[in-house]
Structure 1
Amino acid sequence: MAAAKNPGGIEALIFDMDGTMIDSMGYHAQSWALFADQHGLHIEIDDLMRRTTGRTGAECMRELFQRDLANDEACALIAQKEQLYRELFGPVFAEVAGFKSFYAQALARDLKLGVGTAGDQHNIAFAMSHLQLAPLPKAIVGGDEGHPGKPEPAIFLEVARQMNASAAGCIVFEDAPFGIEAARRAGMQAVAICSTHTPAQLAGPHVIATVRDYHELLNSNFLETLHVATS
């Protein structure tokens, strides 16, 4: 784990979902490949993932088809692709190692917990039904609510707004370069979860820790190093 700074006055933790809370990115890649094949598209999956991870479903479809899709058409295509993803991942659903334990310990330290994801409401409901978090995050903002996708900061800023937390008082947990950049643009610190990318790909001056999974954070007493803001 990278040496962590000592952020002060932390109010809230904001988690990306895919690849950060749940170990889903390989199944997203598989579903993109199946979806592209069904539509007669020849794509390089790694390149598509690099260009789209963290962007909203509509943004992804416009990137894939390389044309300006109407919202209704984009939504219909998104529904097809994400149904494939859920069918693939559902039978083998898994969290990123240690996430639920970390979530519970963060709650016990009176931190506000939120989710900011490019995933749509169907994928959010799918993830939450499998994770069975209790209680649910204080705020959940998805990619189908009208906000631009990452690396724009809007999704994270909306999560903070709904939790009544300052940007400077939030730490974002992210597994993708666009998400790490979105945290920087939002004025938030970040923890890089290297489930899908290397530490070098997730580097930044605002990144206070770099880990493979949440067990590393728990074993390093990361939460205990935070100065949690008091109301």
Structure 2
Amino acid sequence: MTSIKKLKPVTHVIFDLDGLILDTETIYTDVANLVLGRYGKSLDLETKLRMMGSRGLDMAKRLVELYQLPLTPDGYYEEVKKEYQTRMPNCQLLPGAVKLIKHLHSYKIPIAIATSSSDLTYELKTRKHQELLSNFHHVVCGGSDPEVKHGKPAPDIFLVCASRFEDKPKPGDCLVFEDAPNGIESALAAGMQTIMVPSVETPKEIREKAHVVIDSLDQAPLELFGLPAMEKCSCKSR
């Protein structure tokens, strides 16, 4: 396996949540289309990709402006949050998540979550998955955490997340797993290496920004970053 980007050993691993560990992106898309549909609008692919990984209110501001909705950003956000109440608690784990998380935890690799969700939305979507999520050292909810001043693609959330490990690793010692273009940009801006698990809709030029691209989390080539290897994987390196 080859890479045109030089890969360095890491000591800590940070995960995004939506569309990576939990299958929530379809819920976000369906809810956005439901609310937009009330005003004769629908979410196009380019906008969807640009919104992925954004904080809730940041996304609301952009959509209200882009689609010229007769709502305030707060009003739009309240409408989608009502839908989340019934849909998010039923979200499922994505392929490979359990295997990778338990593997890293078994080797005592410090792991954490950096999600753009608010505390409330995080609680909704994770209530059925507490056993798995107990393997993480900590969780940063960028949608409500006062230390996260700017959402993805700014580096704030990953820098805050790294600072909350007990030994406070340098950004270069952290590996980030992401599915969203905004998340990859955020992690790179923070000075971290990245593994991307993109949706099938993600264009090639966006995928190429990540250090490594894989189809599912259980394909992660951890050994390339100095971490204990899982089973042999088949993946594309950038």
Tell me which interval the TM-score lies in, with the shorter structure as reference length.
0.7 to 0.9
Q: Distance in 1 between matches of 2:200 and 2:119?
A: 23
Deviation at 1:117, TM superposition (A): 1.4
* 1:50 match: 49
| Gap change, CA 1:2 and 1:118, over 3 Å in 2 | farther
- Contact 1:31/1:88, CA 8 A, preserved across alignment: no
**Equivalent runs, 1:53-64 vs 2, <5 Å:** 53-64=52-63
- Contact 1:174/1:193, CA 8 A, preserved across alignment: yes
| Match of residue 152, structure 1, among 141, 146, 154 | 154
Tell me whether 1:105 sits opposite 2:112 in the alignment: no
Instruction: Calculate the aligned-residue CA RMSD, in Å.
Output: 2.6
Deviation at 1:210, TM superposition (A): 0.9
| Gap change, CA 1:2 and 1:33, over 3 Å in 2 | farther
Q: Which runs of 5+ in 1 are unaligned?
A: 68-72
Q: Distance in 1 between matches of 2:118 and 2:75?
A: 13
* 1:87 match: 86
* 1:203 match: 208
- Contact 1:29/1:45, CA 8 A, preserved across alignment: no
| Gap change, CA 1:188 and 1:199, over 3 Å in 2 | farther
Q: Distance in 2 between matches of 1:194 and 1:171?
A: 16
| Gap change, CA 1:145 and 1:108, over 3 Å in 2 | same
Equivalent AA in structure 1 for residue 18 of structure 2:
D
* 2:218 match: 215
Q: Distance in 1 between matches of 2:20 and 2:222?
A: 17
Q: How many residues align?
A: 215
- Contact 1:18/1:24, CA 8 A, preserved across alignment: yes
3-state SS, counterpart of residue 87 of structure 1: helix
Following TM superposition, the consecutive aligned residue runs of length 4 or more in structure 1 with deviations greater than 4 angstroms are 1-6, 73-76
Residues 186-218 of structure 1, C-alpha deviations (whole Å, 9 max, x = no match): 0000001123544722222xx33211111222x
Equivalent AA in structure 2 for residue 168 of structure 1:
G
Q: Distance in 1 between matches of 2:14 and 2:85?
A: 23
* 2:231 match: none
Deviation at 1:24, TM superposition (A): 1.4
Q: Which runs of 5+ in 2 are unaligned?
A: 67-71, 228-238
Greater share of helix residues, 1 or 2? Answer: 1
Q: Distance in 2 between matches of 1:35 and 1:154?
A: 29
Residues 95-114 of structure 1, C-alpha deviations (whole Å, 9 max, x = no match): 12010111010111221111
* 1:25 match: 25
Query: Normalising to structure 1: TM-score of the pair?
Result: 0.81
| Match of residue 122, structure 2, among 121, 124, 137 | 124
Q: Which has the higher contact order (CA 8 A, sep 6+)?
A: 1
| Match of residue 170, structure 2, among 163, 166, 169 | 166
Query: Normalising to structure 2: TM-score of the pair?
Result: 0.79
Q: Distance in 2 between matches of 1:2 and 1:64?
A: 40
3-state SS, counterpart of residue 61 of structure 1: helix
3-state SS, counterpart of residue 130 of structure 1: coil
- Contact 1:199/1:210, CA 8 A, preserved across alignment: no
3-state SS, counterpart of residue 127 of structure 2: helix
3-state SS, counterpart of residue 66 of structure 1: helix
Equivalent AA in structure 2 for residue 108 of structure 1:
S
Is 16-25 or 117-126 further displaced after alignment? 117-126
Tell me whether 1:12 sits opposite 2:12 in the alignment: yes
